[in-house]
């Protein structure tokens, strides 16, 4: 399975043929499919699924710093130390080569007790097929040190 971003023509072809943007098979769209990466992320974040902000709205957060200089080609994970308020946690960060930016899951932010800063304007999020993401917009940022 190729982990590189899709070329515009390939993306258009998948849309026209109704193919999944992740596994390139018919019968489902990526946003409806529990493909391998989604399952791995859910397993990692298990245990903090019901966490919400104090006003009961779920967080949406942006990572403001990214580690560079990966030497392995097509590596899916990189080691990362998240420095939280109460403790540091060593994790493996999933690289999404098709993303327009890098994001951190809100449950991980809650689990690690990271400080957040509201954005001046929410950032809308769209799926690979240009439909709005059902989770909404990004409303907060997180400053990480590495």
Contacting residues for 86 by C-beta, under 8 A, at least 6 apart: 113
* pTM of the shown model: 0.34
Residue 141: pLDDT above 60?
Answer: yes
Over residues 77-135, the pLDDT tens digits come to 677 787 777 777 787 776 655 545 567 788 888 888 888 999 999 888 777 667 788 88
Share of the chain above pLDDT 90, in %: 3
Q: Cα–Cα distance between 139 and 116 in angstroms, integer?
A: 10
* pLDDT greater at residue 60 or residue 122: 122
* pLDDT greater at residue 132 or residue 48: 132
The pLDDT of residue 34: 46
* pLDDT band of 12, cuts 50, 70, 90: confident
Nearest in space to 115 (alpha carbons), one of 137, 85, 78:
85
Long-range contacts formed by 6-13: CB under 8 A, 24+ apart: 6/98, 6/128, 11/128
Of these ranges, 20-24, 26-30, 82-86, 110-114, the one predicted with the greatest mean pLDDT is 110-114
Residues 37/77, Cβ–Cβ less than 8 Å: no
The pLDDT of residue 100: 52
């Amino acid at each position: 399975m190729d982990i590189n971003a899709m070329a515009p023509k390939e993306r258009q072809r998948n849309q026209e043929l109704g193919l999944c943007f992740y596994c390139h098979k018919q019968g489902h769209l990526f946003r409806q499919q529990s493909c391998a990466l989604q399952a791995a992320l859910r397993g990692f974040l298990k245990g903090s699924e019901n966490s919400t902000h104090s006003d009961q709205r779920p967080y949406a957060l942006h990572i403001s710093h990214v580690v560079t200089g990966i030497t392995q080609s097509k590596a899916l994970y990189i080691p990362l130390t998240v420095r939280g308020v109460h403790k540091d946690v060593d994790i493996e960060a999933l690289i999404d080569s098709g993303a327009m930016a890098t994001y951190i899951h809100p449950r991980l932010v809650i689990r690690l007790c990271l400080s957040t800063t509201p954005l001046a304007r929410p950032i809308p999020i769209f799926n690979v097929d240009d439909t709005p993401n059902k989770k909404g917009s990004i409303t907060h940022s997180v400053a990480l040190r590495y």
